[in-house]
Amino acid sequence: MNGELIRLEGLKKYYKLGTQIIKALRSIDLSIIKNEYVSIMGASGSGKSTLMNILGCLDTPTAGRYFLNGKDVSKLSEDKLAEIRNKEIGFVFQTFNLLPKYDALENVALPLIYAGVKKKERLEHAAELLELVGLKDRIHHKPNELSGGQRQRVAIARAMVNHPSIILADEPTGNLDSKTSEDIMRLFSDIHKQGNTIILVTHEPDIAEFAERIIKLKDGKIEDDSQNPLNYEKNKSLYQNG
């Protein structure tokens, strides 16, 4: 079995809103192993966005501990968290978050600038990833020259460019039509087959079902955590039809 990638112990996150204390996460215990494909589901206010922000090192817990690759990242400084985000976590957002003045190749290569990779090497690697996600003929197109699905493919390639420990996808099909959404989920399934760990945050049951494991949050607690029996049959048909 693959080793443990993420461990949360008694994780809590509280916010102060005026005189009221909002308990967004209430003592979450969770373990995710390498090469798992996990979806985190929940209605608005369930705590899933808060949990995603902590998993992505965009926020820190009020109490409890978060171990990433065996390292406790719960109380690190903002500079250290930024370093971990750049090295360990590839983000895919609902709104794509591409820079409009850069073409697809430059958008994908951007994280490698901060990693100190030389220009020739980073552009070559970015081009390889754009080919992997099916955009070989669009590498010099800017975001406004691409469809929503193509923009999300650029964002996925960018998320993979630093060989991260986790690909963290936040509502990645939220701005896409149903056909394009299925194409994007097929791509995530292919990426997972290559050995990548994917954590998918969604409120859509049909999207969550692409994952191997579904974690449901309610009122800041894990309501259910189970393997997904539909995953194998769904992905088998996608690979056969893809």
203 — phi, psi (to 5°)? -110, 0
Domain containing 27 — which CATH number?
A: 3.40.50.300
**Sheet (strand 37-41) strand order:** 89-93, 166-170, 198-202, 37-41, 213-218, 221-227
For residue 229, the model assigns a pLDDT of: 79
Residue 198 DSSP code: E
Cβ atoms of 49 and 13 within 8 Å: the answer is: no
pLDDT at 6 over 50: yes
Determine what percent of the chain is predicted with pLDDT higher than 70.
94
For residue 238, the model assigns a pLDDT of: 45
Q: How many domains does the chain have?
A: 1
Mind listing the pLDDT tens digit for each residue in 59-115?
Answer: 999 999 999 999 999 989 999 999 899 889 999 998 899 999 999 999 999 999 888
Q: Which domain holds residue 205?
A: 4-241
Give the mean pLDDT of 199-205.
92
Using CA atoms, how far apart are residues 195 and 52, in angstroms rounded to an integer? 21
pLDDT band at 1 (very low <50, low <70, confident <90, very high): very low
Q: 21 has which bridge partners?
A: 16
For residue 242, the model assigns a pLDDT of: 42
Beta-strand pair 213-218/71-72: unpaired
For residue 197, the model assigns a pLDDT of: 94
Q: How many residues does the chain have?
A: 242
Using CA atoms, how far apart are residues 237 and 150, in angstroms rounded to an integer? 23
